[in-house]
């Protein structure tokens, strides 16, 4: 068995994209991965993110919205930024930390009916899952 790897998903508010990514990664990746998510700010867990994850059998309702933990960030193997704001404002990491960026739309900014907003959340969720499967 290989060594444990640490993965950190970062976005602006740690309410949608990074929360869904954390839940998906815990479900898709080998259990040896240590997975967490955080934001530049903590905006709380978006209920629509919880709903679209529950649709695919992943419960993220107990996850919490947190700000970046510099200690965890610096010891990560991989940091994934999910929006330009997080990419641009993420603290400096050691050269040993691999950083990648997935420019995802912010589903929290979606407008329209609840059904239309849920469609955007599902599209972003599915795009995140495709990326995680390539890690």
CA distance between the termini of the chain: 18
Of the candidates 20, 53, 83, 120, the residue annotated as catalytic is 83
Which residue among the candidates 7, 9, 10, 11 is catalytic per the annotation? 11
Out of 7, 25, 82, 90, pick the active-site residue.
90
Active site residue 16: no
The three-state DSSP-derived secondary structure of the chain is CCCCCEEEEEECCCCCHHHHHHHHHHHHCCCCCEEEEEECCCCCCCHHHHHHHHCCCCCCCCCCCCECCHHHHHCCCEEEECCHHHHHHCCCCCCCCEEEECCCCCHHHCCCCHHHHHHHHHHHHHHHHHHHHCC
Catalytic site positions = 11, 83, 90
């Amino acid at each position: 068995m290989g060594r444990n790897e640490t993965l950190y998903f970062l976005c602006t508010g740690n309410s949608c994209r990074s929360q869904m990514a954390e839940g998906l990664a815990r479900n898709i990746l080998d259990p040896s991965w240590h997975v967490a998510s955080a934001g530049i700010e903590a905006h709380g867990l978006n209920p629509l993110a919880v709903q679209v994850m529950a649709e695919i059998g992943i419960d993220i309702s107990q996850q919490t919205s947190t700000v970046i933990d510099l200690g965890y960030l610096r010891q990560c193997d991989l940091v994934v930024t999910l929006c330009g704001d997080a990419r641009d404002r993420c603290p400096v990491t050691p050269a040993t930390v691999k950083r990648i960026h997935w420019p995802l739309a912010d589903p929290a900014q979606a407008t329209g009916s609840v059904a239309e907003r849920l469609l955007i959340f599902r599209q972003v969720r599915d795009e995140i899952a495709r990326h995680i499967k390539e890690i």
